[in-house]
Structure 1
Amino acid sequence: MRNRREVVKALAGLALTAPALAQMGHGNPVMAGSKPSGRAVPPKPIPWEAGTCAFCGMPIKTPEGSWRGRTFPKGFFEQTYSQIAFAEPRPAPHDPQQQVEALHFESIACMVNYAWVHGIKDGEEATFYVTDRGSYDPARPQETVRLIPARSATYYWGERMMVVMNAHLLAFASPKAAQEFAEKNRAQHGRQHFYSFQTLLDLAPLPEMNLVALLAKHAGLLGEGMDHGH
């Protein structure tokens, strides 16, 4: 886990992160450049019914009906589901007595930010996975979540695209699939950019809803009872 000095320094510089994310990586889709040294850990089962995001605490499954005063389209949460699978069980984030084989996230940015705060690295007894949006069907959300290694995905950023946590990010199995999605949604999404996983890691912490409070909480600077304000 990063020490408090590192996190405080990062919190002070967050105002610069969002513009950087919007300005970098435009043009043709790019492939990930990270090269993990360890063996890949297979993805673990997804706890759709009871699972919550290890970073922000939101459900990983789209709530039915109204949730915290809002309603969401079918499949809205699942399309950005992400996972960190471990080679060996580790203590759960909020219960050290419990061991977990994986951590679950409802946003790509949540996974990257959690890993940044806690010093987890892809390829070091852990493998990062993201949902391939290209093969995903919102009408059959849990059935069509196909996990692909985060290191090999191409990431699409749309300025006006709405996904959970306002992260504006989706993952695709290939640059071609990301490009086709971008062309189809150019008018609705405004500015569009493409990223490799290594670029996301380099830009971490990634801007998303209530980011400063969430980073401070995971760094131990805030208590467990905070309201995330989603």
Structure 2
Amino acid sequence: MRNRREVLKALGGLVLGSPALAQMAPGEGIPGGVRVPAKSIPWEGGSCAFCEMPIKTPEGAWRGRTFPKGFFEQTYSQIAFEKPRPAPHNPKETVEALHFESIACMVNYAWVHGLRDGEGATFYVTDRGAYDPARPQETVRLVPARSATFYWGERMMVVMNAKLLAFASAKAAQDFAEAHKAQHGRQRFYSFQTLLDLAPLPEMNLVALLARHAGLLKGEDHGKHSH
């Protein structure tokens, strides 16, 4: 767990400008460690542990916007724990996993709270290569983040404006990039270790969310995010 001085220092740097993501070779995973099985996904009523947005795409208009079918689910991510731990918003309860609507939300949550893949927890991401937006919940296939290849597209639209998708293989990520190079502009590939090294990752309302999770802000509405 980072102390307040460390978080404040980091937040100050974010206000001045977030660092650019450096390109790394695809497929460079984190070394092994305990592999905790993925837990069931609470699609009905489940929310992101970092930003509290739904993990399931809302039906119809939601906060003034209508999202395409499967828009949220394609970036669903999870931290599964070896032993139950206190729930984020209710310490009297315990959870076996934390659920996130965005890859960046999971990485940023882990950064603030000092969670590490392979140390009593396993990080999972949705394999976009096996995903079908027409059947969102049915085709979410979770793969260990440590072995995934991550794709960044400059103009790609995903939840929290994180611009990140995960793929089970480097080839699948490269094929996706080739098919979308005209729409997405600049493109990059990352390993999960690279994302962790560069955390916190830029996304919507980043500073307020990080400050709240660090205990620097309390009692404010943190559901006012744009996708």
Question: Normalised by the size of structure 1, how large is the TM-score?
Answer: 0.95
Output the CA distance in 1 between the equivalents of 2:186 and 2:100.
Answer: 26
Output the CA distance in 2 between the equivalents of 1:73 and 1:152.
Answer: 29
Give deviations 1:181-201, integer Å, cap 9, x for gaps: 000000000000000000000
Output the CA distance in 1 between the equivalents of 2:114 and 2:193.
Answer: 15
Structure 1 counterpart of 2:117: 122
- The yes-or-no answer on 1:104 pairing with 2:102 is no
Structure 2 counterpart of 1:201, from 196, 201, 206 = 196
Task: For residue 17 of structure 1, report the CA deviation from its aligned partner.
Answer: 6.4
8 Å contact 1:36–1:124 — kept in the other structure?
no
| Number of corresponding residues | 225
Structure 2 counterpart of 1:11: 11
Task: For residue 227 of structure 1, report the CA deviation from its aligned partner.
Answer: 3.4
Secondary structure of 1:185's counterpart equals: helix
Structure 2 counterpart of 1:85: 80
Structure 1 counterpart of 2:27, from 31, 44, 52 = 31
For structure 1, the residue ranges without an aligned partner over 5 or more in a row are none
Structure 2 counterpart of 1:41: 36
Task: Report 1:1-230 matches (<5 A).
Answer: 1-14=1-14, 18-21=18-21, 24-25=22-23, 29-37=25-33, 39-230=34-225
RMSD (Å), alpha carbons: 1.3
Task: For residue 57 of structure 1, report the CA deviation from its aligned partner.
Answer: 0.3
Task: For residue 15 of structure 1, report the CA deviation from its aligned partner.
Answer: 5.1
Output the CA distance in 2 between the equivalents of 1:191 and 1:6.
Answer: 32
For structure 2, the residue ranges without an aligned partner over 5 or more in a row are none
Once the two structures are aligned, what percentage of the paired residues are identical? 77
Question: Normalised by the size of structure 2, how large is the TM-score?
Answer: 0.96
Q: CA 1:216/1:97 → structure 2, altered by over 3 Å: closer, same or farther?
A: same
Output the CA distance in 2 between the equivalents of 1:150 and 1:33.
Answer: 8
